[in-house]
Structure 1
Amino acid sequence: MLELSRRNNKKHLVTSALPYVNNEPHLGNLLQVLSADVFARFSRLKGYETLYICGTDEYGTASEMKALEAGDSEYRLCSEYHALHSRIYEWFNISFDIFSRTSEAVHTSFTQEIFKRAYRNGYIVKVTEKQFYCKKCKKYISDRFVKGECPSCGSRTNSDQCDICGSLIENDKLIDPRCTICGSSLELRETDNLALDMPKLKDRLESFVLLAEKEGRWPANAIGIAKSWLKEGLRERTITRDLRWGIKVPLRGFNDKVFYVWFDACIGYISLTALCTERWREWWMKPDATDLYQFIGKDNIPFHALIFPATEFATGFPFVMLHRLNSSEYLTFEGGKFSKSSNIGVFGSDCIDFGYSCDIWRFYLYYNRPEKSDSDFSFEDFQEKVNGQLVGNFSNLVNRAFVFLRKQYDSVVPRFGIDEDFYDSVRKQIVKIDGLYEDVQIKDAFHEIFALSDMLNKYFQDNEPWKLLKSDPIKCGRVVRTIILGVKDLCILMYPYLPDASDRIAKAMSIQQSWDKLGEDISFDEAFLPLEHLFENFSDEAVKSAKIRFNSTDVSETAKAQGEKDAQEAAEKLAARKKAEREAAQRAAKAAAEREAREAAEKAACEAEAAARLKAIEERKAAEMAARKAEEEARRKAAEEQAAAERAADEAAKRAAFLEKIRRGEEAVKDIRLEGESYAEAFRRRVCLKVSKIIEVKKHPEGDRLYILTLDAGEEESRTIISSIVPFYKEEELLNRNVLLVANLKPAKFRGIKSCGMLLAASDKDDKNHSTCEVLFADEAKVGENVYPEGTVSESDYGTYIKPDQFFSIPFSSHNGIVEVDGAKLISEKTGITIKCYKYGEGSIG
């Protein structure tokens, strides 16, 4: 069996840079989502637990300004573009586990919480800086809407980073800054903002980058940019802006600001994961169990290699950190930039409308992927690569194999064994491709798959099975079976790149796509189904049509023949027509969206009204039911209280009669005193009376007069006692008060709950019905200290329980507010506090 086991058992968390939502994605923008899609599909196919997370990045100046220009709200504008992006990615067969939005409420919560953590940990600082302000627009202007001259290379560029030389530009260094919204000159004004204290995290970030370089997990351009930033010295990075559309800063003094979009966008990877699965912590909070793979363009390298990791470090949370970074260079169009406004270049919806399958576009973007340097898209090169590799190599091999099998073997794979020597070379190539997949070498792996296809084509041609049919039919069967196995392997290897074509092959072969079938001589139990040509050549006419349609800078031969002026006029007319068509389509889409919104609002209003009526009926019924239940409960409770009162009175009367008989000598109770011992001395020896704090009070479920009290008696575990003092004290009057606990009273159950002790209370001496009660509090004494009669020195004997009748045989009383035992006042052992009775100066104790 071929050894293609997983390198580890970690989860694969895959992200692609969140596309900004203010425009339609062109082919260059699609590179990241497509690259991440290949790796996510491979990871699932090989058995890794995988999540592919993405969504639209919706906050910031661009959305705010575009909404202003369109006369629409930011959210509705973003909703339109989110739907457009979703449609394009769905057509391109991107296998997201979730494609959501940073305008979701959960994203706001995550961003604000991460900010608070970083702030509490001391990694957020206040900075006063100069920002561009436009007097005409009457607002601070974001970098995105500032153009000026680069101080390093002199080119016209954005204010934050030069598009040509890549230099980072300080605001006060930009030459002739102008507002791209209105064209006015800009001035710098001071404003207070919050910043991420990057210098404070320099050592951790440097170690993080150097380890990635040592282990070869990041591409050279990412390592180069990250080390350059570190070498130049990290600076505080502002994370707030004076805008309206964004996530509000949850800090006093900065509530009128929002977070800079680069700060919240990367947090979106976490928040969108939480939207995708309740198990998000298993993906983001267990670094030993998850590897994070991020796919971005080179302009996003600093944010993913340094700033987002710095944000994670600042929180103190054990976040999963970036494992592999896969960054691409720029894709240009016919030597220039893509431009939606000028109708130059191929955009997502153009691909949908052009009439070719998504796999053709996927093929070219992978095959021509700008990994180590910029790549240029031209329709001539597109034609050459599609016709030469996709059609002439791969599609041709599959077609030849299926046609030969159908004509010579009735589509049934022969069973004459295989050419082991050649198939071993196929297996070696599979191992190589598998390694490139694991190392996230997207372009190299794709090229090696086509190299395998080329090997199989050559094998087909060299062995000439059409001749072997007569001369050596057994060898012919082995050759054909070997080719079919190779096509099976190509089908599986190609799946992450060209899922539609691969699925068509698998369906025709009646096989399941599975990584463990690679390099295996599997059985083919059914005849193959017919399979049409996977792809057709991209013709010269198609090239000419595309160049005119997409306004290629290299105009068509017909346009050239008409002269430059005619060509320019034709191009301008075409651009104007296309622009008008697009604007008309956008207006129609907007009108449709408004109509749908109105209809949805009317429907929602009707549903809300119906729901309100239903709710009112249900609430009225519920109120009537509740009233009946309350009345029944009140009757039941009154009956129980009356019964409990009668039982309590009966018990009190019996106890009083019992004590009276003892006093008169009519009832014999075992005397707890030893010979010659006073009651006070016997108390000291036999009764464990401890100062205890009431730490919980709750009603007994089976007794309206009973409290369940939880006490801290200074012991290893708390105690529970039952006390019938509900009529005399509210719960809050008892909670956290120190009381006297008879700690060695024999435990007993009261209405099913075990009581381990009894608290002391006083009552009026003339109260025969026990309708008065004063709990003896000892708040000045320490929890856990013993209480005993003053002047007694007897050794304690707390090892045995004292029975209730023995305890009540002790003469307790209060005189002038002082609690006494047989004339000796009770005092606390350590603090010397005298136990007093304030309410009943002359009373009985029990």
Structure 2
Amino acid sequence: MRYLITTALAYTNGPLHLGHVRSTYIPADILYKYLKLKGEDVIHVGGTDNHGVPILLKAEKEGKNPEEIVEKYHNEIKRDLDSLNIEFDAFGKTHSPIHIKTAQEFFLKLLENGYIYEKEIEQFYCESCKKFLPDRYVEGICPYCGGEARGDHCESCGRHLEPYELKEVRCVLCGNKPVIKRTKHYFFKLSALKEELENYIKNSKEMPEHVKNLALNWIKELRDWDVSRDISWGVPIPGSNQVMYVWLEAPIGYISFTKMLGDIWKKYWLEDCKIYHFIGKDITVHHAVFWPGMLIAHGSYNLPTAVVSGGYLTLEGKKMSTSKNWVIWVNDFVKYIEGDYLRYYLVMAAPLFKDCDFSFDDFKAKINNELINIIGNFTHRVLTFTHRKFKEIPIVNEEELKEEDKGFLKLINKTVEDVDNLIRTFKFRDALVKILHLASEGNTYFQKMEPWNIKDDERLKQILYCCCKAVKTISYLLYSYMPNKSKQLLELMNEELDLNLRGNKLKKPKIIFKKVDEEVEKLKNLLYSNKDNNGEKMDLISIDDFAKIDLRVGKIIEAEDIPKSKKLLKVIVDLGNEKRQIVAGIKNYYKPEELIGKKVIIVANLKPAKLCGVKSEGMILAAEDDEGNVSLLTLDRDLKEGSKVR
């Protein structure tokens, strides 16, 4: 059988954190390494997703070309993957000639087959910026809850919105109010594929059940899909001044990146082949519904055999947040702790399809008390004892072994069979538990046989043969999970990466699995040292930076509600020689009448901005604790309005 394994294309707006590798890259690499070990025809294809509005916005705000942003993070992402020994046969970029050509050919085939049509729509247009505004370029007020909303999503109530539904609309680039203009967009006729998609999902025998259920629910109410955007950054649509919506062209990268290998790409996409897509669960629908729909409409390519979506990873019981720096980056982790230990823990912490939490205490316990005390202890004591007695791995006739020896060998063989079945069905944690159990049973066997008390060399060789066979098997099966540790064990045994025991001379044993104590504390300190008490990133500034901030004492003389906002109040503050209007996000903590007469601290030289369409000429300082309690910063003795805070 032929296999193609793909991993979700990492978005080039930052490096990788632990959540990325847990759900996607580590499980995919385990299956890839294992199938290669078994001699299967398998390739692993991945890369980075380089287009879309967020990258364009980031480039515009930083005054850079999008290509600079893409190149920087593409290289950092590949560095992170390499540091965890995650292998690819092809690792590409969607901003590349081979991908752009493939995506355009794909689009034209959909058009030829009657699945692409043009439709006139209404869209915001900024007359100041002279451009149409895709979703992320538009901010406003949610018409349902009054909360802050961006484009097609309300940040407060989570409701999906059409951009034209927003109130108090503004362009995120210039702040001006856009107008509505009519424009033509291309649409993909997804609704016409309901029956084909239902049949595909129901008949996909290897598709995980939770993916099937989610996909079938979505298929009930399929809508056609707007697949063009009025921006400059992306894959140009042939014969148009628009680009393809990133979710149309990005998955085509699985095909275009395979083409980087030459003509053999056809074996995986046009001939008999199993295709496994490894992704995070937030993009399950895209891969189980939209992408297969595109492939069905195209008519030439293989459909995914399974979409393997991994659960979310939290950190110390809290949702990871890159904006608050509540995150562990892969690059930081491997500076302190070996990548193999991370691979082990993220598999063992929970089944792939379940959410799980990265806990420093649990990580330390699983490495020190589980991996090292069981696998590390068994492999080290066997190799140390065998080296001391014979200097080489003894080879014996298995037919002459005693029943207890044969029983242990039977367990070894059964473990190999079980692990094979479990890995091939994406039960990576269960398979690793089997390997751990074999080491535990090996310890029991070794202890029961008491080889230190045996005087008969032939009998001792039989026992150590069984133990060394278990060590060799564990090293072999562990390779897909912990490739570096596996190779180190095999090197001590002078053995190849297979299941055959050759009886080679042993090298002097050394400890392969070392406990992690100080390293964990250092990593933990790194996480917390970048935080204040609320988990916000704490960047150090100089006294010169602080001197730029003009802090003044102000007295609130008026306060009123902003009806369209759930969070904002409008206040008038007396600064002595002038009065300022300030919009403050304190509605949930103070009533307007409570504020009158309070003396507060104001950032007086903040650039004016509009919030919910109301001009704000400064900022009132407040503190917030971990429970979300908010308190304005006030004075402990009376000072004149306008007094400078030094």
TM-score per shorter chain, which class? 0.7 to 0.9
Amino acid of the structure 2 residue aligned with 1:568: N
> In structure 2, the residue corresponding to 1:575 is in which secondary structure?
coil
**1:578 to 1:371, Cα distance in 2 relative to 1, 3 A:** farther
Task: Render the CA deviation track for 1:565-620: whole Å, top value 9, x for unaligned.
Answer: xx639x76x731499xxxxxxxxxxxxxxxxxxxxxxxxxxxxxxxxxxxxxxxxx
Is the Cα contact below 8 Å between 1:55 and 1:101 reproduced in 2?
yes
1:128–1:193 contact (8 Å) kept in structure 2: yes
Mapping of residues 444-843 of structure 1, within 5 Å: 444-467=430-453, 469-470=454-455, 474-514=458-498, 517=499, 522-524=501-503, 526-539=504-517, 541-551=518-528, 568=533, 575-577=538-540
* Of 4, 8, 12, the match for 2:3: 12
Are 1:225 and 2:217 matched, yes or no?
A: no
Q: Counterpart of 2:613?
A: none
CA-to-partner distance for each residue in 1:417-462, whole Å, 9 max, x for gaps?
Answer: 4511121122112211110122122222222222222222222233
Instruction: Specify the alignment match of 1:383 in structure 2.
Output: 364
Residue in structure 2 matching 1:397, options 361, 368, 378: 378
Distance in 1, matches of 2:209 and 2:144, equals 23
Aligned equivalents of 1:549 and 1:76: distance in 2? 29
Q: For residues 395 and 475 of structure 1, do their structure 2 counterparts lie closer, same or farther at Cα, with a shift above 3 Å needed? A: same
Give identity over the alignment, percent.
31
**2:538 alignment partner, SS class:** helix
Residue 199 (1) aligns with residue 182 (2): no
- Kept in 2: contact 1:343–1:551 (CA 8 A): no
* Counterpart residue type for residue 430 of structure 1: V
Residues in 1 aligned to 2:122 and 2:511: alpha-carbon distance in whole angstroms: 62
1:366-424 per-position Cα deviation (integer Å, ceiling 9, x unaligned)? 22256333211121121121112222222222111111112233344364745111211
Number of aligned residue pairs: 536
Matched, 1:263 2:263: no
- Conserved in 2, the CA contact under 8 Å of 1:342 and 1:575? no
Q: 1:346 aligns with which of 324, 328, 353?
A: 328
Amino acid at match of 1:268: G
Correspondence 1:337 to 2:302: no
Structure 1 counterpart SS, 2:533: helix
In structure 1, the gaps of 5 or more residues are 1-9, 556-566, 580-846
Structure 2: distance between partners of 1:140 and 1:477: 78
Matched, 1:420 2:420: no
Q: Which amino acid aligns with 1:21?
A: T
Alpha-carbon distance, 1:152 to partner: 10
Q: 1:295-349 CA deviation, whole Å, 9 max, x = no partner?
A: 00111111111111111111222x1110022111111222333333433211122
Letter in 2 for 1:267: I
Task: Assess, with a 3 A threshold, how the Cα gap between structure 1 residues 342 and 133 changes in structure 2: closer, same or farther.
Answer: farther
Structure-2 change in CA distance of 1:166 and 1:446 (3 Å) = farther
The CA distance in 2 between the partners of 1:489 and 1:151, in whole Å, is 62
Q: Partner of 2:427 in structure 1? A: 441
Map Cα deviations across residues 447-495 of structure 1 (whole Å, 9 max, x no partner).
222222222222223333223x24x654433222111101111111111
Query: Cα gap change, 1:350/1:400 in structure 2, threshold over 3 Å: closer, same or farther?
Result: same
How high is the TM-score relative to the length of structure 2? 0.76
Higher gyration radius (CA): 1
User: Which of 285, 294, 302 is the aligned partner of 1:311?
Assistant: 294
> Which one of 19, 23, 28 corresponds to residue 14 of structure 2?
23
Q: Distance in 2 between matches of 1:504 and 1:257?
A: 54
In the TM superposition, what is the alpha-carbon distance from 1:530 to its structure 2 partner?
Answer: 2.7
Question: Equivalent residue for 1:327?
Answer: 309
- Asked if 1:45 is matched to 2:29, the reply is no
- Find the partner of 2:109 among 114, 117, 125: 117
- 1:299 to 2:282 alignment: yes
Once residues 185 and 336 of structure 1 are traced to their aligned partners in structure 2, the CA distance between those partners, rounded to angstroms, is 37
Q: CA deviation at 1:236?
A: 0.4
Q: How many Å apart are 1:235 and its aligned residue?
A: 0.4
* 1:58 to 2:50 alignment: yes
Distance 2:39 2:154 in 1: 43
Are residues 486 and 61 of structure 1, via their aligned partners in 2, closer, same or farther at CA, if it must alter by over 3 Å? same
Cα 1:385/1:466, change in 2 over 3 Å: same
Contact (CA 8 Å) 2:116, 2:187: kept in 1 or not? yes
1:208 aligns with 2:208: no
Q: Which of residues 218, 226, 233 in structure 2 aligns to 1:245? A: 233
Residues in 2 aligned to 1:513 and 1:359: alpha-carbon distance in whole angstroms: 17
> Is the contact between residue 551 and residue 575 of structure 1 (CA under 8 Å) also seen in structure 2?
no
Q: Residue 10 of structure 2 aligns to a residue in which SS?
A: coil
Partner Cα separation in structure 1 for residue 214 and residue 155 of structure 2: 15
Q: 1:161 offset after TM fit, Å?
A: 7.0
Q: CA deviation at 1:188?
A: 6.5
Which stretch shows the higher mean deviation, 479-488 or 142-151?
A: 142-151
Aligned to 1:763: none
SS at match of 1:128: strand
CA RMSD of aligned residues (A): 3.2
Q: Note closer, same or farther for the CA distance 1:179–1:154 as it changes in structure 2 (3 Å cut).
A: same
Q: Cα gap change, 1:442/1:177 in structure 2, threshold over 3 Å: closer, same or farther?
A: farther
Alignment CA distance shift 1:67-1:512 (3 Å): same
Please, what TM-score do these two structures have when normalized by structure 1?
Answer: 0.59
Query: 2:43 & 2:114 partners in 1: Cα distance?
Result: 33
What is the CA-CA distance between 1:294 and the residue it aligns to? Answer: 0.9
- What is the alpha-carbon distance in structure 2 between the residues aligned to residue 241 and residue 13 of structure 1? 31
